[in-house]
């Protein structure tokens, strides 16, 4: 089957939209998905520019939303016409998956970041030549084939143009708070970086009952949006020392929890220094930057911790429906971060994401799609 897709030919190249890409056939546990829309994530940019490598040429995209067109012979939980959000793949059979931790699937890297399907075959080809995939998905396409474990069924009355980013950015930010940090009502949290992941972390902190939810950024418009989405305080770290200000807001102690979504070394350091005794920092950005930490002076003396979190320690089939329930209640207004772009404008959308002009660009791949009224 021939499809249209946005291809990155080599490290650092722009996206090139091609309409002659060959798509793998539907296997026994697969779904063929008509992609309606896909979010652009900073992880896509990290791979495009070479901070991470899946092999080139590559078709990126891992925040897809669409409609099931065809199902494999062993698929039982989906039918043609179902609306779905796509997320990462886990096999469901290893010891960690059976413990309910699919983000720690023993073969997570092989399945999601190897550039080939979970069965080792090419997902995409052009003139018989391999093209790498991403997350066993690659949603910068008009049509893709995924395993049923990549998919989360959603209500058909939800707008498919909006919901794709729940498959990565929003579930990563919120899951870091809900599933990993697990703040208690009355705790305090500071989130460094108010992009999509950071704002999702912040909204999760608010939902969890944190009495101080502090957003830190250098872009005034983003800080204003953070206030609208529930931040109790905002800090422009271009204007004031964020560590001093956070301690001022917390009786000199610091916050119980921090989340760094920037990947900037100096900001990560600030997110550790802003912790109170016994506090924990979740550093979750995809970044090549390094920090220097004294395990005794920076951590042990005050019993502080730094944790890394993959995909918010989420179970997509559990966490995404939960986020949609919060959305319906007006508690998780993720769509206020989004801006729609035509698929053909993918390079502009990506540039606006890099510059910070747009928090969450969403590519509209099916322009004829109409949400249910």
**Interval 5-34 mean pLDDT:** 97
pLDDT number for residue 344? 97
**Interval 305-315 mean pLDDT:** 97
> Residues 63, 40: contact at Cβ < 8 Å?
yes
Longest CA pairwise span in the chain (Å): 64
Q: What crossing angle do the helices spanning 196-207 and 220-228 adopt, rounded to 10°?
A: 30
pLDDT at 53 over 90: no
Beginning with the edge strand found earlier in the chain, give each strand of the sheet holding 233-236 in spatial order: 233-236, 212-217, 188-192, 255-260, 275-283, 305-308
Average pLDDT of every residue of the chain: 96
Q: pLDDT tens digits, residue range 62-81?
A: 999 999 999 999 999 999 99
pLDDT band at residue 373 under the 50/70/90 scheme:
low
Instruction: Determine if residue 113 is left, alpha or beta; phi over 0 gives left, psi from -120 to 50 gives alpha, anything else beta.
Output: alpha
pLDDT number for residue 256? 98
pTM (2 d.p.) = 0.94
Which of 46-50, 325-329, 340-344 is the least confident region?
46-50
> Residues 339, 356: contact at Cβ < 8 Å?
no
Q: pLDDT tens digits, residue range 225-283?
A: 999 999 999 999 999 999 999 999 999 999 999 999 999 999 999 999 999 999 999 99
Cα–Cα dist 207/230, whole Å: 9
Quick one: how far is CA 97 from the chain centroid?
Answer: 20
> Residues 230, 206: contact at Cβ < 8 Å?
yes
pLDDT at 111 over 90: yes
**Burial degree of 352 (CB within 10 A; 0-12, 13-18, 19+):** middle
Share of the chain above pLDDT 70, in %: 100
> Residues 281, 305: contact at Cβ < 8 Å?
yes
**Burial degree of 84 (CB within 10 A; 0-12, 13-18, 19+):** buried
pLDDT number for residue 287? 86
**Tokens describing residue 192:** 């460094």
Cα–Cα dist 38/63, whole Å: 5
pLDDT band at residue 149 under the 50/70/90 scheme:
very high
Cα Rg of the chain (Å, integer): 20
From the CB of residue 155, how many other CB atoms can be counted at a distance below 10 Å? Answer: 11
Cα–Cα dist 203/164, whole Å: 18
From the CB of residue 112, how many other CB atoms can be counted at a distance below 10 Å? Answer: 23
């Amino acid at each position: 089957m021939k499809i249209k897709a946005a291809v990155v030919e080599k490290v650092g190249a722009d996206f090139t939209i091609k309409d002659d890409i060959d798509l793998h056939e539907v296997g026994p546990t697969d779904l063929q998905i008509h992609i309606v829309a896909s979010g652009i994530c900073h992880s896509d940019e990290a791979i495009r520019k070479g901070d991470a490598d899946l092999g080139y040429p590559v078709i990126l995209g891992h925040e897809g939303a669409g409609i099931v067109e065809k199902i494999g012979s062993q698929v039982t939980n989906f039918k043609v016409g179902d609306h779905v959000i796509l997320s990462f793949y886990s096999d469901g059979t290893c010891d960690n998956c059976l413990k309910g931790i699919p983000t720690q699937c023993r073969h997570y890297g092989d399945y999601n970041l190897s550039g080939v399907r979970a069965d080792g075959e090419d997902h995409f080809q052009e003139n018989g030549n391999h093209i790498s995939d991403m997350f066993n998905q690659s949603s910068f396409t008009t049509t893709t084939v995924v395993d049923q474990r990549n998919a989360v069924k959603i209500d058909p009355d939800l707008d498919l143009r909006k919901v794709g980013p729940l498959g990565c950015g929003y579930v990563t930010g919120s899951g870091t708070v809900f599933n990993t940090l697990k703040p208690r009502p009355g705790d305090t949290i500071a989130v460094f970086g108010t992009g999509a992941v950071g704002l999702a972390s912040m909204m999760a902190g608010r939902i969890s009952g944190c009495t101080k939810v502090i957003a830190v950024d250098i872009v005034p418009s983003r800080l204003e949006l953070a206030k609208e989405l529930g931040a109790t305080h905002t800090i422009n770290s271009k204007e004031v020392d964020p560590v001093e200000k956070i301690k001022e807001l917390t009786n000199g102690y610091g916050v119980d929890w921090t989340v760094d979504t920037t990947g900037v070394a100096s900001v990560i350091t600030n997110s550790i220094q802003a912790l109170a005794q016994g506090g924990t920092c979740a550093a979750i950005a995809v970044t090549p930057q390094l920090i220097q930490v004294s395990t005794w002076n920076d951590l042990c003396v005050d019993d502080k911790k730094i944790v890394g979190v993959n995909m918010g320690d989420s179970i997509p089939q559990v966490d995404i429906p939960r986020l949609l329930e919060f959305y319906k209640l007006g508690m998780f207004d993720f769509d206020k971060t989004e801006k729609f772009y035509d698929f053909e404008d993918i390079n502009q959308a990506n540039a606006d994401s890099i510059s910070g002009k747009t928090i969450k660009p969403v590519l509209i791949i099916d322009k004829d799609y109409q949400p249910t009224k």
